[in-house]
Structure 1
C-alpha cells in the first residue's frame, strides 16, 4: 500500500496556512516529517495520520 518514500513531493488533503499544498518528505520512521515547499515549515506526523491525510504523490525522488 505504501506508495511514498524519502524525498518524495506529496500533496496533502488540506492546504498549509501559507496556502501551499506541496510538501517534501524529509524523514521516515514511526513518524513522518514533512517540509512545506512554500514557506519551509516542518511538521511531524504519526505514520497512520500521514497516510490518512495524504492525497497523492506529486513527484518521486528518483524523477
Structure 2
C-alpha cells in the first residue's frame, strides 16, 4: 500500500462532489483533522484524517515550493 503525503496547498479530487458541483478541494490544514476549502464556492470544512484518506481519489496539484 502506498503512503500518501499531503501538504497544505495541495489540491485533491474527492470521490463525491460538494453540493455546489465541484469535487476539487485545497488542503488548508493537516493533522488529525484536515481543513479543506472547496474550489467552487470557497466553503471550508474540517473532516477527520481517516475519512479524508478514504474519500481522496487523486492529488490534482501539489503545493508550490515544497
Same fold (TM > 0.5): yes
C-alpha distance in 2 between matches for 1:29 and 1:12: 18
Normalised TM-score (structure 1): 0.93
Unpaired segments ≥5 residues, structure 2 = none
* Moved beyond 6 Å, runs of 4+: none
How far residue 15 of structure 1 moved from its aligned partner, in angstroms, is 0.3
- The yes-or-no answer on 1:4 pairing with 2:6 is yes
CA contact (8 A) 1:23 1:37 kept: yes
Aligned mate of 1:53, from 47, 52, 55? 55
How far residue 5 of structure 1 moved from its aligned partner, in angstroms, is 1.4
Report how many aligned residue pairs link the two structures. Answer: 63
Q: CA RMSD in A?
A: 1.1
Normalised TM-score (structure 2): 0.89
Unpaired segments ≥5 residues, structure 1 = none
